Structure 1
Amino acid sequence: MNLIFSLLLFLVGFYFVFDTYKKPSRLSSTDLKGYIAGFGFIYLSVISLLGMINLLNVFREILDVVISR
């Protein structure tokens, strides 16, 4: 399941980078945010695939904190 979640995050990151590249904004800060988000998602997915973190456990803990409030 962690593999599927990591690949999904990789695709989201690739989409952000590709979309920012293909449709540049007039504001450079908006483009920068798109590239940072895209490469951030790609980085998270790669370190998850390498086994350095388990993204499913992180996601579950975040949901537990949000739901328990």
Structure 2
Amino acid sequence: MYGKPALGTVLPLAGLTAAPEVMPGIPFAKGLQEAAGAGFLLYCSVAVVLLSAKAWFQVRNHGDRS
């Protein structure tokens, strides 16, 4: 715009985003990203279960304080 060069000429890697199969290691990176996403979901679900169990025990034992 206004005489500036195109983005692909300024950043040579910007043109590779349209064709990811050109870059080596992309399938491996996608696998790592999927594994990280699955691990994060597992972490979140374990945290919710532990917090729910803690809250349940606190509510259950609320009147038993001595």
TM-score by length of 1: 0.36
Higher relative contact order (CA closer than 8 Å, sequence separation 6+): 1
- Structure having the larger proportion of residues in helix: 1
- Please identify the structure whose Cα radius of gyration is greater: 2
TM-score by length of 2: 0.38
